[in-house]
Amino acid sequence: MIKFLDNKLFRCLSVFLFLNSSTLPVKSASALAAWELNANGVLELRTKSNTNLKAYFQKANQISGDRFWIDFPGELKNPRIIKGNGPVKEIRLGKPNKGKTRLVIEFKEDTYLQPFSWRLVGLDQNRWRIKLFNRKYTFKKISEGIVGKRLVNIKENQKFLHKKKNDFHYLKLPDVKRNKFLVVIDPGHGGPDPGAIGIGGIRETDVVLEVSKMVKNLLSEKGVKVKLTRKNEVDLDLPPRVSFANNTDADIFVSIHANASRGKRRDINGLETFYYRGWRGRLLAKKIQKQILRVSPGSPDRGVKQGRFYVVKNTRMPAVLVEVGFLTGRLDARRLEKTTHRKRLAYAIAKGILEYLYKIG
Ligand SMILES: [Zn+2]
């Protein structure tokens, strides 16, 4: 993956391949029903149900700027070009070949993009979302059609949401004194260092960054102040992570990682949490370990252990390093690639942290 970034010959990066294969006859109309690129840089799509999408990114070359595109089955009627604004040069809808539709977003020259962190997420059977750039760019929404229209009726949808909520019911987060605590969350690795690479190319940096951000949101809702050592794919050494935590005078430090086994053995799975010293660190590790195990049934408990990791050894506050599973393990990897499981892990870690803060007062 590091080579990927530096390689000048690098052409296309498939940011995501999706899902059910429903083959439409060549003559059929485009599966793209509506799209909207919002002011916050989020592209939303509505398609026919269970559509197969492919998304790509290509670095700028002599002919054009950085480009992101998605291919849809079904043929577009009217190819068109829509003038962009802000970081977006233009948006093109075309048919790259017979029976296909392509939505291209071309960016202006000096736009800062992070295609390695992009994920095209399916919201339900016909809706999609991907964040392409951040708010620092002023952008006026461009859209065609209504992306919000749904196939499922509202009642059914509510049932669905309700069920989802219940899923986390047993994990109800404890309350702590608001505005009292400061937690530093440290998503492991980042930038040119992807950390462990697991089955199917799943990368530690992606998993732990997403989980960390979710933990931050959950704790923030409980009035706990949270600082992340990194918010995106940057190269961050270990000493600055430690000095960041020490300088902010955080109450606790939680480094989040995912494991890989030597020889990439698929039969090795499990969760473990490390601390270096003190009963507080150990207590925090125990609280977190207990919760992450609850959301990872069948994955072995590798225990709470003492470990001489740089970040837990050199931080001055109670500090732990959590390994949320093996990216090389068959059981763990399959889960870790899913947002639903990452959410559960985030709940679990947040719960462990809150239980600890509650106890410490
Ligand atoms: Zn790691």
CB burial string 51-87: b at 16+ within 10 A, e below: bbbbbbbbbbeeeebbbbbbbbbbbbeeeeeeebebb
The CATH number that domain 169-360 falls under is 3.40.630.40
Residues of the chain with pLDDT under 70: 1-27, 149-171
**Ligand 1 midpoint to CA 351 (Å):** 22
> Residue 312: its pLDDT value, please?
96
> Residue 7: its pLDDT value, please?
29
| CATH class of domain segment(s) 11-151 | mainly beta
Task: Name the residue with tokens 């970034």.
Answer: 5
**Ligand 1 midpoint to CA 50 (Å):** 35
Bridge partners of residue 303, in order along the sequence: 272
**Ligand 1 midpoint to CA 212 (Å):** 13
Task: Name the residue with tokens 């719960």.
Answer: 351
Q: Exposed (0-12), middle (13-18) or buried (19+): which is 267, by Cβ within 10 Å?
A: exposed
| Cα end-to-end span (Å), the chain | 44
Percent of the residues in the chain that have a pLDDT greater than 90, as a whole number: 65
> Residue 178: its pLDDT value, please?
94
> Residue 10: its pLDDT value, please?
32
> Residue 84: its pLDDT value, please?
94
> Residue 254: its pLDDT value, please?
98
**Ligand 1 midpoint to CA 15 (Å):** 22
**Ligand 1 midpoint to CA 194 (Å):** 9
**Domain residue ranges in the chain:** 11-151, 169-360
> What's the one-letter identity of residue 66?
D
Bridge partners of residue 88, in order along the sequence: 107
> Residue 181: its pLDDT value, please?
97
**Ligand 1 midpoint to CA 360 (Å):** 28
> Residue 3: its pLDDT value, please?
25
> Residue 250: its pLDDT value, please?
95
> Residue 149: its pLDDT value, please?
59
**Ligand 1 midpoint to CA 14 (Å):** 24
Task: Name the residue with tokens 């393990």.
Answer: 329
**Token reading at 204:** 């530690």
> Residue 354: its pLDDT value, please?
97
**Ligand 1 midpoint to CA 13 (Å):** 24
Contact present, 234 and 191 (Cβ < 8 Å): yes
